[in-house]
Structure 1
Amino acid sequence: MTDSTNSQVLYHGTRADLRSGDLIAPGYVSNYGSRRKANFVYLSATLEAAIWGAELAAGEGRERIYIVEPTGPIEDDPNLTDKKFPGNPTKSYRTRDPLRVTGEVAEWQGHSAEALAAMKIHLEELKRQGIEAIDE
């Protein structure tokens, strides 16, 4: 883990029903893009990025945001930092090692229906253009 994240709370947004102590590991079908096998697990030091993760995750389960701790090294998420937001203002990261669930954010405010619809339209347009939402 990088020094800049040692004292930060880290989050993972999903629809999976997990408990404290569970591991979130790569190797499963991704929630995003073409839904291929994920080589990384994604996390963020901002609640905002985790909210997007939960809201855009595939599936029918309840949107959840977990507090997580990496079990190995993490790196900046190049899907956001290099392509969209230089300098990593979203504080988005990824790892090839599991994340351990240490808690859940019980109360959080999701995006408006309009903002969520606009994001989904944007992602569909990228898909139509053959641009993968997550480049692993």
Structure 2
Amino acid sequence: MAESLDDLLNQIKAEYQEKDQGKPPEKKPLLDEDDLKSPATNSSTYQPISSSPSSRSPVEDSMLSELKAEFEEQEREAQRKRQQQRQEEELKAKQREQRKRDALKQQAQDWLNNLKPHSDEGLWFEEFSYSYSSKLEAAIDYLQALRETP
């Protein structure tokens, strides 16, 4: 935040003193728009003000509570956005993997279509594919292994 809590408390106190004297208080939002756009400060750097509760008026306590509630709401919103971004990134990664798998599946199907069953490679593949649930799955694994070998 651009202003410290002491500055805000002094501003609030001045506004209420002006109000008591009959002057209309100057309206200023508790948080500037720039404060809302700036990244939240690290909670480990936050140091609470060590003033005794008896030195604050009920109005100051109320304003402090409002500030605290606003800050907590901003933190919850930022956390929600981070969680949503993580979920979107995970979904994109899964979709990328699925597209890769689909492309490999198509390549394996093409390879199987071009495989001559009585050739050396065809006979070897026939034996290789026995442990798989389908020849397509065997072809996928075989093509993946070929890609991974340097």
TM-score by length of 2: 0.19
Structure with more contact order per residue of length (Cα contacts < 8 Å, sep ≥ 6): 1
Higher strand share: 1
Structure number, greater radius of gyration = 2
Higher helix share: 2
